[in-house]
Amino acid sequence: MKKLLLVFAAAWTCVGQAVAQKGNNHNFEISKNLEVFNDIYKQLDRFYVDTLNADTVIGWAIDAMLNKVDPFTIHFSETNMDDLRTMTTGKYAGIGSIIRYKKSEDRVVIGEPYEGSPSDKAGVKAGDVILSVDGTDVKGMPVEEVTKLLRGDAGTRFVLTVRRPGQEKELSFKITRENIQLPAVPYYGMVADGVGYLLLNSFTEDCSREVRRAIVSLKEQGARSLVLDLRGNPGGSLSEAVEVVNLFVPKGQKVVYTRGKLASSNMEYFTQKPPLDVDMPVVVLVDGGTASAAEIVSGALQDLDRAVVVGMRTYGKGLVQTLRETPYHGNLKVTTSRYYIPSGRCIQAYDYRHLKADGSVGTVPDSLTKVFHTAAGREVRDGGGIKPDVVMKPDSLADIVYEVAASDELFDFATRYTVAHKEIAPAGEFGISDEEYDMFVKEMVAGNFPHKYRSGSVLEILEKTARRDGCYDRAKEKIDELKALFTPDLEEDLRKNKKDIKKLLVDEIIPRYYYQKGAVVQQLSGDVDLQEALKILSDPETYARILGKRK
């Protein structure tokens, strides 16, 4: 026994030495590389042909390093702390308007003033071309720079000068900046008899209170079931996610837990309050833009068999970030742990620590995911986000629809339409007539809107390759025939995709009259995911069967 104990002691000594050696090597590698970086920058500063700006160059180095770690670890310097505050609270001080860059003007234009915002109260309209901000000409400035000029301390005043389409004279507005609160719940309302709908855009500070108030209001309006829309929700506060889940499940339920390198990163989150309603049937809508805290809510409600999840597979962000102070009043938002929802699964889809040979990020293949079980025993899997209980197929849209959606031409048509029409039908009922669409098509054709098939790009590669291979002459006739087949006809493609492009036009016009709430109502009027949710909620047996329960 004594010899055996000596052997164990010797073995543990070796293990301890190995661990210590590994730690020493790690610390040496850190010191060595920091010393190399420090020396390289000093030599750049001393010998480079031009004088370098330390904030810019070292800022590039920091951003490049963090980008290689993961896209969620970000450094916020003192100069961009406002961005961090807006991200976490949904608040900022400014004029309350979406702005966008317009290529033909080389200027930023007003995209959409928020209802009741300083810009809205001053009379600023979508389509107004920004000429100057307090006398500073903004021609050629990117959106980020113009945003900085428009924002400032609440209560400060400035003059905004714009050119409005259809008017020759420049317009100037005296605007007082205000604290702007971006609504976490931009819309809620009744969508069918006894069915309430709630759109939750982000998990910012106190968003759970907004959700609670909205549900209480819907119940007062007669809602007996609920559609919770988390599509496009990028997430945010983990604690707010727990609070939202708490609205639907009893006090004391574990919703999520985290595991990281340090013990301080290992946390468990339980519901702390009495729920609002544990019986109301709920359908959660998700898509590929549903991420982070939004996945915690949808995943936890799925794991607890508390809601039916409908839509497309979610983003797959199973990482948690915390804020750490950095010198000179900065903050580092750093990934410190992974989170796990009630079934025990982590839904992280991307492996940022093992990049592919080309530098791209790999995902966990379905064949390597593990099976977990919901409270009722249904199979669910880790990795790759939340797979909905009812999977919907994504819209298959032609490239021209995406081209039009991103174009200035779409935006300009909506602006001219607004100038010509003082009033339109209510949101949800408004539509573009065939005559109006014909006008849009004629304008696009007359303006030689750039439209190109991706197959045409492939043919260009084929032609270049054939020339290099020396076989172009004998293939020329066939290549020319293919070119003729794949040369786009703009007018034909615009008419072929009339339904989808009409919807784009309507979606661009509606906010000009009815703001963000109207835009949501309009989009819901043809929403197939919502229709599927209503179908499920109208059939208690189907709802119970999906959740693995007996009705």
Cα atoms found within 13 Å of the Cα of residue 165, Cβ hemisphere only: 18
d(C-alpha 95, C-alpha 154), whole Å: 10
Number of H helices and number of E strands within the chain? 17, 23
332, 335, 337, 339: CA torsion to nearest 10: 120
d(C-alpha 426, C-alpha 430), whole Å: 6
Q: Which residues contact 298 (CB under 8 A, 6 or more apart)?
A: 230, 284, 286, 290, 307, 309, 314, 386
Q: Decide if 337 is catalytic.
A: no
Complete DSSP assignment for 400-463? HHHHHHT-HHHHHHHHHHHHH-S--PPTTT----HHHHHHHHHHHHHTT-----HHHHHHHHHH
Residues recorded for the chain: 551
Q: For residue 140, how far is the Cα from the chain centroid? A: 27
Here the tokens at position 124 are 């600023």
**Residue whose entry in the numeric block shows the structure tokens 């903050």:** 331
Question: Long-range contacts made by residues 430-435, C-beta under 8 angstroms, separation at least 24?
Answer: 430/506, 430/509, 430/510, 430/522, 431/502, 431/506, 432/502, 432/505, 432/506, 432/509
Nearest to 42 by CA among 52, 32, 28: 52
Q: Decide if 303 is catalytic.
A: yes
d(C-alpha 465, C-alpha 370), whole Å: 45
d(C-alpha 374, C-alpha 303), whole Å: 4
d(C-alpha 415, C-alpha 512), whole Å: 8
Residues 428-459 as b/e (b if ≥16 CB within 10 A, e otherwise) read eebebeeeebeebbeebeeeebebebeeeeeb
Classify strands 308-311 and 390-391 as parallel, antiparallel or unpaired: parallel
Q: Give the three-class secondary structure for 266.
A: coil
Under 8 Å between Cβ of 491 and 446 = no
Q: Which residues contact 382 (CB under 8 A, 6 or more apart)?
A: 345, 346, 347, 364, 369, 370, 372
The residue annotated as part of the active site, out of 117, 292, 298, 343, is: 292
Under 8 Å between Cβ of 291 and 233 = yes
Classify strands 97-102 and 107-113 as parallel, antiparallel or unpaired: antiparallel
Q: Decide if 367 is catalytic.
A: no
Complete DSSP assignment for 478-511? HHHHHHHHTS--HHHHHHHTHHHHHHHHHHHHHH
d(C-alpha 295, C-alpha 238), whole Å: 10
**Residue whose entry in the numeric block shows the structure tokens 């849009």:** 440
The residue annotated as part of the active site, out of 317, 333, 503, 517, is: 317
The residue annotated as part of the active site, out of 128, 287, 303, 527, is: 303
Catalytic residues, by residue number, are 292, 303, 317
